[in-house]
Amino acid sequence: MDETKEKLEAPIAGVTVIKSDLKKVLSAHKRFAISGKNVEGSILSAIKFEIKGDILVLTTTDGDRALQTELTILTSYGEDCEFCVSMALAAKLSFIKGELNEIIIHYENNKVEFIDEDFNSKQILRVKNAEEEFPDIQKIMTTKNNFTVTVSQKLIKD
């Protein structure tokens, strides 16, 4: 295959994750992305999905603070890749409880599909073509005095 043609083709990737975990993570990220018409088209109003081996990393930022979460991938196919989706659209995804507690995320041709095989439903979102590159989260987050705090989910209320 011609090397130039190969670079133009978008990667195809898909992962299966736990539906309830994805729902909780998207809810938390909604508070970190900037919303409103004045930031439409800005990368700060998006959520970044990164497929890295057996981990799905989701990242949002308002430029001063960031939230980055990792979900364990149950199954995967295709290539490691990254893409951004408008957080306003991602926040409107709906997940129905069913027998299967899994959701398939399929990325191809500038769209991402959230497939719930339990209910034979598919939600399709357009991948965000931002005018700017997603900021390096490591530069936003300070490196001095870093520490990790673990809090029981029962203690946190939305």
Give tens-digit pLDDT for 38-94. 566 667 788 999 999 999 999 988 877 889 999 999 999 998 998 989 888 898 998
Phi-psi bin for 78: left (phi > 0), alpha (psi -120 to 50), beta? left
Q: Using pLDDT thresholds of 50, 70 and 90, give the confidence band for residue 7.
A: very low
Following DSSP, what letter does each residue of the chain receive, concatenated? --HHHHHHSPP-EEEEEEHHHHHHHHHHHHTTS--SGGGTT-GGGEEEEEEETTEEEEEEE-SS-EEEEEEE-SEEEE--EEEEEEHHHHTT------S--EEEEEEETTEEEEEETTTTEEEEEEPP--SSPPP-HHHHS--TT-------GGG---
pLDDT at 29 over 80: yes
- Give me the pLDDT at residue 157, please: 56
Whether the predicted pLDDT of 5 surpasses 50: no
Q: Indicate whether 2 pLDDT > 50.
A: no
Band (141; pLDDT cuts 50, 70, 90): low
The confidence band for 137, taking pLDDT boundaries of 50, 70 and 90, is confident
| pTM assigned to the model | 0.77
